[in-house]
Amino acid sequence: MNTEADSIATMVNGQAAGTVPVFDRGLQFGDGVFETIRIHRGKPVWWEQHVERLLYGCRQLCFSRVPNVSLLFREASELTAKVDTGVLKIIITRGNSNSGYAPPQDTRENRILIVSSGQRHAVQADKGIRLGLCEQRISSAPGALSGIKHLNRLDQVLGRLECVNHGWDEGVMLDQEDHPIEGTMSNLFILKENSLLTPSLEKSGIRGICREFILGHAHKSGFDTEECELGVDDLLESDGLFICNSLVGIWPVRYFIDRSYENNERSMQLRRTVEEAMCS
């Protein structure tokens, strides 16, 4: 895990800077969106997909302007060019105000870029991870907020705290109807014979870039895919489990609650496919 000491560079609205005004609405209300993007050999991986989700989020939040993509790309490239392996975080907030919840009409968004070197989450993917079940639920907010990677992330912070306290590598989070939705920082897949099942994200959860990649490419590895409503029992009774995100790719699960999954070979094959796509 990185500490601040690892971070290489920060940029705010195109300038080398490490602070934002206290009036920034990201700070005040979580009024913004973000992406964490893997850097491989100086380049942000799956850039177009991340930016597409970022812009979609800005539109869902009714920002009066969306960020200029080519400007964002120039700024990101400048920061990542000399980084072999790392993480680029982009935060776009609605801008500054001191007016309460009401968004000011003519605000300019704030663009915050943070580049950190090194791998953020180092686990031994080969052995499979330990997955727990969080008590903290995912808040459901069907409508504008569903699926987007906005800055209201207390559910995940509290879920992640449970992982740390229990020594889990990751934790499954349920919605309020007891359906597994995602991990604290990842999406979730179940292997069942030749099918990959992943929770439907109609009502809550984040549409992960790696999840989308897997849904689009798994058939090449011989899998059908389905987005559906799942229960915890579906996870326990599956042939295998893995979690994914665009920083780590795929992590096969070795343990979930009292179940162990002995053979991760098919997840590992998919992991290699994803890694190839990310590092090509």
State yes or no: is 3 an active-site residue: no
Whether the CB-CB separation of 244 and 119 falls below 8 Å is answered with no
**Residue number, 90 or 270, with CB nearest to a copy of itself:** 90
Residues lying near a copy of itself in the complex (CB under 8 A) are found at 1-4, 6-7, 10, 12, 17-31, 34, 36, 61-62, 91, 93, 96-104, 112, 114, 116, 120-121, 135-137, 139-145, 150-161, 163-164, 176, 184-185
Residue 28 or 221: which CB sits closer to a copy of itself? 28
Nearer to a copy of itself, 81 or 157 (CB): 157
Q: Which of 36, 80, 107, 273 is catalytic?
A: 36
Query: Of 146, 145, 144, nearest to 202 (Cα)?
Result: 146
Is 127 among the catalytic positions?
no
Nearer to a copy of itself, 103 or 252 (CB): 103
Is there a contact between 54 and 67 (Cβ–Cβ < 8 Å)?
yes
Q: What span, in angstroms and rounded, lies between the C-alpha atoms of 170 and 243?
A: 9
Give the Cα separation of 44 and 73 in Å (integer).
9
Name the DSSP letter for residue 134.
-
CA distance 104 to 46: 33
DSSP H or E run through 217: helix 209-217
Rounded to a whole number of angstroms, the minimum distance from the CB of residue 208 to a copy of itself is: 14
CB of 202 to a copy of itself, least distance (A): 13
Minimum distance between the CB of residue 207 and a copy of itself, rounded to whole angstroms? 17
Handedness of CA 263, 266, 269, 271 (dihedral sign): negative
202 labelled catalytic: no
Residue of 35, 109, 170, 182 marked active site: 182
> Active-site positions?
36, 149, 182
